[in-house]
Amino acid sequence: MAYVKNLFDQNFIQYASYVIRDRAIPEITDGFKPVQRRIIHTLLKNDDGRFTKVANVVGRVMAYHPHGDASIYTALVNLANKELFIEKQGNFGNMYTGDSASAARYIECRLRPITRDILNSNNRITDYVETYDSRDTEPVAFKAKLPLVLIMGAEGIAVGMSTYILSHNIHEVIDAERKCLRGEKFQLFPDFPTGGLIDVSDYQDGLGKIVTRAKMDTSDDKKIIITELPYGSTTESLCDSIEKAAKNGKVKISSIQDYTSDKVNIEIRLQRGVYTKDVVDALYAFTECEQTIYCNLLVIKENMPVQMTCTQVIEYHSKQLIGILKAELELEKSDLIDKLHLRTLERIFIEERIYKKIEQEKTEEAVNKAVLKGFVPFKDELIRPITQDDIDHLLRIPIRRISLYDINKNRQEVTAINNRIKEINKLLKHIVEYAISYLDGIEKKLDGETTKRHTTITNINAVDVKTVTKRDLPLKYDAKSGNLGIEVSGGQELFKVTPYDKILFVRKSGIFSVCETPKKLFVGPQLRHCGFADKESLSKVLFTILYRDPETQFVYIKRCKIQAFIMNRDYFFAPDGMEVLHVDTRKNFAFQLNYVKKPRVKVLSEKFKAESYEEKSLKAKGVRVAAKEVQDIVVQE
């Protein structure tokens, strides 16, 4: 048994780690989940500038992604709809209506040129590993020069954790990264392609929540036009929620029509006698026109899931950008030095006719020695010692090139190489300024119309559902069945309620409870009291409780108000073991005590006024009315 448990625990941990790192949570380095990274890698590898069938791309990605074509197709469509890396051709769905994309065989895509500017795929800088079948290699993570996890957003559910990262405007992200490099303060807020309004007062740098609303045109008193959607909604789901609210009587509309195409246009017409100002709050309260979205910026960092803020992500990527640019410059400088070394070798090899010295040699070893010997007088002109690869390069120079060798062209090329090396050295000394200029260059390449801010940041005053819901549901009590609620068929109507009211009811036994408006709740026969349990209502109700001690038969009176309670919990007005005889909510009334007949007891009944007794707290004991055994009481109506 222990072996099975250990085996289960080990396998479950491996599965959980796999789901977290390789399926659900994006990598902070490039902002991609594995399937997205494999799609971009495939497009980079096969990019020829022309559109390719999505079905073809999906097939090629399957060489890297072992989870079938459906997940690849869905991820590719979603990635293409981000409008950043992939250019689309054909029907890729409609983000407004929620319509799905056409089949993979009908649509095409290609890589946008800006992808190579943002992602470094050079295997001398980016780490590569073998694919699942060891037939090819794929990047562990691209070296991204922008914080794509913030630009694209992400959501995913793993084992024991989840991530919900909202998308941000790319221009604002670039500006934040620039400010971070300069040491200035910055702040980021979400931006959605569907537009709408958002309140970011509780965003908490990516770890809080936002309130998002549809944008409405309310200029017409009898018609509301929704022009932008709240994040997370489609026109179909929004219309469904409005129709449902109208059916339940929460929103008074006469019709709703969806005219959405490339822009959102939902027309809501109102009932006769109902005006726009009367309906807007109800739309926010009872439909998808307003939604609250909770964020959780969870990413994979250094192979572990880590919760971060937007600020921390920008700071991380600012350092990463400098590191990538520095690595690219140093790699270019190294290549230029190698190139300069080869050009120097070629010039000396040809100008000094070193190639003539190998004509009489008959073995490879002798040829190599002759070349090395020929360069001895020019040792000071060389950038580094000659290697076997250098000799092989020189020996591969064709006779045609030697005979047509242009010394001036060589010198010009050497000069250009030296100038570029000097420029690289200067950039390395001012790497931060270079990083900022790189960001400026990237921003100039962006499509201004596509990448502009779509969502409007504003202050949203939350609509309280209770305030916009009218009390029009009859709360009934059936004394025969003892049921209380809005779905009780017979009985007496007590008052009108809403589904969100808190109801206080007192049973015959003197036990009281508070619950939300019940649909059908058994409270027993002879309900003593029923009313609203809000502070204003309770402050006006003074309860008078008459109870008897079973041992002494003495009657006590207690007058109190209910000031605090816990929902759906039973409370007893009287101390434990007491018998509640009467509960009243009138401020002034009289009652009569009928005493037990005993010898020497001449007065067998006595009248009292409830208002003669002071109000006490709910937990206080009552005041003894009379020091005589009471047989029963009679309350004046």
Catalytic-residue membership of 203: no
Active-site hit among 3, 15, 73, 106: 106
Query: What is the three-class DSSP state of 502?
Result: strand
The angle formed by the CA atoms of residues 263, 76 and 163, to the nearest 5 degrees, is 85
Q: Which amino acid appears at position 325 of this protein?
A: L
- What distance in Å separates the CA atoms of residue 212 and residue 455, rounded to the nearest whole number? 9
DSSP three-state, residue 410: helix
DSSP line for 41-85:
HHHHHH--SS-EEHHHHHHHHTTT-TT-HHHHHHHHHHHHTTTSS
For 568, the token pair is 């759906």
DSSP-derived pairing of the beta strands 456-457 and 197-199:
parallel
H helix intervals, 248-299? 276-286
C-beta separation of 32 from 89 below 8 A: no
Distance CA 302, CA 318 (A): 17
Q: Where are the alpha helices (DSSP H) in 97-251?
A: 114-118, 148-152, 170-182, 235-247
Position of tokens 């769905």?
Answer: 93
Token readout for 420 is: 């570029």
- Beta strand 128-130 with 137-139 is antiparallel
Contact by Cβ (8 Å): 42, 54? no
CA 564 from chain centre, in angstroms, equals: 37
- Residue 24 is given by DSSP the state I
Q: Which of 153, 273, 264, 146 is nearest to 210 (CA)?
A: 153
What is the per-residue DSSP string for 344-373?
Answer: HHHHHHHHTTGGGGGSS--SHHHHHHHHHH
- Give the residue numbers annotated as catalytic, written as ranges: 106
